[in-house]
Structure 1
Amino acid sequence: MKKILIILFMFSFFSKVIAGNNGTAYDYEFNSIDGEIIKLSQYRGKVIVVVNVASRCGYTPQYEDLQTLWSEYKDKNLVILGIPTNNFRQEPGNNKEIKNFCETNFGITFPMTEKISVIGNNAHPFYKWARKDYGIGAIPKWNFHKIVIGKDGKVAETFSSITNPSSKKFIKAIENLI
């Protein structure tokens, strides 16, 4: 009986360590496209849509719908965060070129980070956390993959590149979280 209690105690202890609190999105920060710090903690209590973006992708027109979503919902506790990446070889520009492209072609005003890696060993810590918090659905398979963070700071849902930010499915998911 004593051995059983010791074993149960050990598994109880280790399961808490392994499956313990993975933290929240609020534990992470990014460098903005302008070199300032974007702390996700400043968005505590808001819904955050994190989208890896690229200027030479077939999904690049989604920038327009992301900007529309931002304009319509930013006063309703929604944040859009664009994450430029060249992981899929469709964002060769530097930060200045990316910013100019987004502002000139799509009038982007939502926050954007510097160009970073979103997959693999060099992925930004936020993306590594998202995978731990949500699973493989949080790993971008292509550009314009969307990770939706709920008001609790946890991954609430993810959407593949093909899901347009203006789609009924996406809007409904956002409105349910706001």
Structure 2
Amino acid sequence: MNNRLTLCLVLLSILQIPKAAAETTAQCPGFLNHEFKKLHSSKTINLCELYKNKPLVIINTASHCGYTHQFKGLEALYQKYKKEGVELIGFASNDFKQAAKSEEEAATICYKNYGVSFTMLAPTHVRGKEANPVFTHLNEQTRKPGWNFNKYFISADGKHIKHFGSNTKPLSSKLETAVKQAL
């Protein structure tokens, strides 16, 4: 074990945080080590819990957008590769004024209308000064979303990030190729 991990484990044991959680946090890229509220839920999740050295696809989503139908393809991508460890995380956002009027409505669109089972987070900003810390990092490393349904592929080691625009379909695309190459 390296010195940083040992120090983290000692500090977290003092705070009575389980060793497994400490190891996950210690191995997780800093830009993912943030807690977000799940869509239409009181539960929160630290993205490091999902990461666990797996490839990630992060998407900025909206409920009333010409690209909303991509939820279907994103769910198909998730179902196709989740057993191999790929995680998808949708960040609901109203930065482009295309969001549902409430989290309840957004949840209905995602979960009921499109059968989304991947992690969806409550609305947050994805660009500008108010962007959440994950998108602040993604925007600095690649480019900020110009519209809804931009996709960011993050390698399992968290060091390589590729941006795919709104027009990139989830399946049979450069995005799926990146996912396959990472596995």
In which range does the TM-score fall when normalised by the shorter chain?
0.7 to 0.9
Residue in structure 1 matched with residue 156 of structure 2 by the alignment? 151
Letter in 1 for 2:153: V
Choose 1 or 2 for highest CA Rg.
Answer: 1
C-alpha contact (below 8 Å) 2:78/2:87 kept by paired residues: yes
Deviations 1:19-57 (A, max 9, x none): xxxx54432332111132221211221111110111111
Q: 1:70–1:80: 8 Å Cα contact kept in structure 2? A: yes
Any idea what the Cα deviations from partners look like across 1:78-119, whole Å, max 9, x if unmatched? 011111111111003221111111122111111100011111
Q: Where does structure 1 differ by over 6 angstroms across 4 or more consecutive aligned residues?
A: none
Q: TM-score, normalised by structure 2?
A: 0.78
Question: What secondary structure does 1:93 align onto?
Answer: coil
- Equivalent pairs: percent with the same residue? 32
Question: Is 2:102 the counterpart of 1:90?
Answer: no
Report which structure shows greater RCO (CA 8 Å, sep ≥6): 1
Contact 1:24 1:153 (8 Å CA) reproduced = no
TM-score, normalization by structure 1: 0.80
Give the match's secondary structure for 1:112: strand
Structure 1 residue ranges without an equivalent (≥5): 1-22
- Structure 2 residue aligned with 1:26: 32
Secondary structure class of the residue paired with 1:41: helix
> Could you tell me how far apart the structure 2 residues matched to 1:167 and 1:119 are?
28
Of 136, 141, 146, which residue of structure 1 is paired with 2:146? 141
Deviation at 1:157, TM superposition (A): 0.6
Q: What is the distance in 1 between the residues matched to 2:152 and 2:42?
A: 23
Contact 1:35 / 1:114 at 8 angstroms: preserved in 2? no
Q: Is the 8 A contact 2:92 2:120 kept in 1?
A: yes
Number of aligned residues: 153
Cα RMSD, aligned residues only: 1.4
